[in-house]
Chain A
């Protein structure tokens, strides 16, 4: 790829999804765009970018932006946030909400995060009888959401982060694929969502998982997205960020929960702008 092509795609992605493409990592850009080029009938990535620049076909633009913005995921990724959900958040929700609590998985990619939350809730339902989780997963990529919808995962995917006990409990094997039980899939609703433009006016959610999404944004985008997330969170709601992310630069929206990495509560001083 030429430096010009790289700057065209980086600029397009930043404007549409807020994601900052690392322009030094040419191989990452090529790995992600090559399947799009092939699928759409271009012989090279250069041709694809030329077309993106001159024809402005919205469908093609989004296909490229989605491919560049997708997040790596796995079941129970990083483990700690799911332990916090089980040990810190669910007991509180069972006390204060009692019946239904709403959980939002932002940047849910191919579904492993919302489905991990659904399996966790099912595992813990004996401790919290009566508490039902409504889990909503949102992602920019239609292709990722389609896969999430199917509930089909490869052997490789079900061996990353998913304990074998949960694999045999919640999945069936169909040919070479593993398919998640319908009753777990039914706990999750999925829809297309651009974090830049579609968070405002949603909610309220009791818990928002937004992991490894913000770190792809620049500072000002991160701050404005965090404020909109605060607006979509219940007043006593929780925000869960990725392992290396903080909301400390977005006061007064959130305050960290002591001794809990990545876990925040909405700050009582924060009020939603009209």
Chain B
């Protein structure tokens, strides 16, 4: 089964995302910030990453920059999922190598259609 790493500092958001992602066929792992997520990726690179932007320790964009420099770090398909909803943020995320971008609030339809757009379904 494919794994999706959910990176978000909100436990509630991780829980909601987990339920939706499991329903569309992913194994789900969780990380509460970018640093934890990097540790996860070094140990076991996931196929997909659902990534928040604003987090303590290491934010989503910085995480993505570091991930892409790591061995096999070009492999995961990254989908941002954040309250940041202006075009500049979206463009920055896509430039950094994110495949898709979800603006919160999200629901299962949005996650499913964005994962499809990102080629994950």
Q: Any chain A CB within 8 A of the CB of B44?
A: no
Q: Which of B10-18, B23-31, B60-68, B83-91 contacts A (4 or more CB under 8 A)?
A: B83-91
Residues of A within 8 A of B103 (CB): 155, 159
Nearest B-chain residue to A160, judged by Cβ:
B113
CB-contact partner of A160 in B93, B94, B100, B109, under 8 A: B109
CA distance A165 to B80 in the complex (A): 13
CB contact under 8 A between A173 and B87, given known A159-B103, A163-B100? yes
Establish whether residues B100 and A164, one from each chain, have CB atoms under 8 Å apart when the complex forms.
yes
B107 CB, min distance to chain A CBs, angstroms: 9
Q: Answer whether A159 and B102 are a contact pair too, CB < 8 Å, given A164-B94, A165-B94, A168-B94.
A: yes
In the bound complex, residues from chain A placing their C-beta under 8 Å from that of B85 are: 155, 173
- Bound form: Cα–Cα A102–B111 in Å: 35
With A155-B103, A159-B103, A163-B100 in contact, do A168 and B110 touch (Cβ < 8 Å)? no
Contact with A along B98-121 (1 / 0, CB 8 A): 001111001001100110110000
> Which residues does chain A contribute within 8 Å of B113, judged by CB atoms?
159-161
Contacts of B90 in A (CB 8 A): 164, 167-168
Interface size grouping (class) on chain B: 10 to 19
**A159, A163, A172, most chain B CB atoms within 10 A:** A159
How many whole Å from B117's CB to the nearest CB in chain A? 5
- Which A-chain residue is minimally distant from B98 (CB atoms)? A164
Q: Is there an interface contact between B94 and A171, defined as CB atoms closer than 8 Å?
A: no
A/B interface sample: 15 pairs, CB < 8 A: A159-B103, A159-B106, A159-B113, A159-B114, A160-B109, A160-B113, A164-B90, A164-B93, A164-B94, A164-B100, A164-B101, A164-B117, A165-B94, A167-B90, A173-B87
Which residues of A does B touch, CB under 8 Å? 79, 155, 159-161, 163-165, 167-168, 171-173
